[in-house]
Amino acid sequence: YSHSSFFVMSSLYEGFPLVLVEAMNCGLPCVSFDVTGANSIIDNGKNGFLVPDNDINALAEACIKLIENKVLLEDMGKQAYMSGKRFSKPKVMQKWLDLFRELMRE
């Protein structure tokens, strides 16, 4: 990740694509097909791009936008880094604890 400008995920299915969180934690904007999992992590146009499923041309066009526009790349990279914080260890652990407490009440 440290030698990359952005991250491209070309999967057509992902449960929870941890690789996107890892890339964002390194400040990389992400480009992906608009698939389940990716669309819960990427905020289209803010920290990366979501393109229609299987639209390879749209995937390439999104990459070209980032290559050709350094300001956009840097802005999205900053947003990606901030977005990755949603999945920090303390935040995820708190969600688990909240879930267990909720289940114990039921």
What is the CATH number for 57? 3.40.50.2000
Note whether residue 68 is domain-resident. Answer: yes
d(CA 22, CA 104): 32
Asked, for residue 1, whether it belongs to a domain, the answer is: no
pLDDT single digits (tens) 10-32: 998 888 899 999 999 999 999 99
Range of the domain at 62: 7-105
Domain assignment present for residue 90? The answer is: yes
Crossing angle (nearest 10°) for helices 56-68 and 70-84: 110
pLDDT the model gives residue 88: 87
Per-residue model confidence as pLDDT tens digits over 40-70: 999 999 999 999 999 999 999 999 999 999 9
Q: Is the pLDDT of residue 87 over 90?
A: no
The number of folded domains in the chain is 1
Residue 71, pLDDT above cutoff 90? yes
pTM listed for this prediction: 0.85
Query: Is residue 2 in a domain?
Result: no
Please give the pLDDT value at position 27. 97
